[in-house]
Amino acid sequence: MKKEAQYEFESSACDFMRETLRYAKSFRPRQLWGYYLFPDCYNHDYRNNQDSYTGHCPDVEKTRNDHLAWLWKESTALFPSIYLEPELANTVNGRKFVRSRVKEGLRISQQHHDNYALPVFVYTRPTYSNHQDLFLSETDLISTIGESAALGAAGAIFWEDAGNTGSKKNCQLIKAYIEEPLGHYIINVTTAAELCSQTLCRGHGRCRRQESEASVFLHLNPNSFQIYRNEAKYPKPLLAAKGKLSQADISFLQTHFQCHCYQGWHGKGCEKQLNPPGGGPSTSYTLGLQLLMTVFLLVCLH
């Protein structure tokens, strides 16, 4: 009786999730659809083993994710989370935690569709979990946004609880954080990701590390670029970068990064176009957060 009840419950849940995705895709077919927090990794054992923590996803969780093949086949994007708890602040374990979660999303993304991989968008936030008054340090911006971009994530979704904008003081704190450390780092990474795509992949793919465990990032060289505040009024972005890749910058990208080609392109530099392209969703996204940064400002200034 118990096994039968479990079977019926799980079958109904599968049908509900699958049909929901199908309906969403039929309603808005040009959008990207998937479930928040899927796939998960459950690599939270840093709470008990900080000294020996590897960040690796347990094998049993990878197997469970493999059993969700029916879900990945219906999805057009994946949305894992990379929220950091205070215990991981400014630690190497924080980077291990994020790295494994993003890698698991990328592993799943490549297994269930012919000729293309699903784009992976990470969910993150500007504060540590359950500490809305504690903003991510520069180290942890690198461990979250920077790590995700370097591994080949298609983008990041930055959000915060609406309760954190309930007072003028909180809004001013968020605004200051967005306009300075967060905003500057977002512009740094998004510009570097775009330039790498153009330089190595002809704009037909995004860059990812050649060695996933290497501590190299898609960052602008401060000797080649400057991030400045745009004093022009909306709709121009608040912050922008100016400069040009040097030959040393290009050599660095060529040494440490490789291309992950968008749907319809292949080759080492994504120089060859498939004809006809596959039937998957468009995946031409570089890691970009400028729009979400604007949303934060509008919430606080409303």
For 101-154, write each residue's pLDDT tens digit: 999 999 999 998 888 899 999 999 999 998 877 999 999 999 999 999 999 999
| pLDDT at 245 exceeding the cut of 60 | yes
Pairing outcome for strands 272-273 and 265-266: antiparallel
In this prediction, residue 235 carries a pLDDT of 67
In this prediction, residue 296 carries a pLDDT of 45
Residue with more model confidence, 126 or 165: 126
The CATH fold assigned to 32-273 is TIM Barrel (3.20.20)
Query: What residue has token string 């120089």?
Result: 271
Asked if residue 230 lies in contact with residue 245, where contact means CB atoms within 8 angstroms, the answer is: no
Q: How confident is the model at residue 299 (pLDDT cuts 50, 70, 90)?
A: very low
Asked if residue 273 lies in contact with residue 264, where contact means CB atoms within 8 angstroms, the answer is: yes
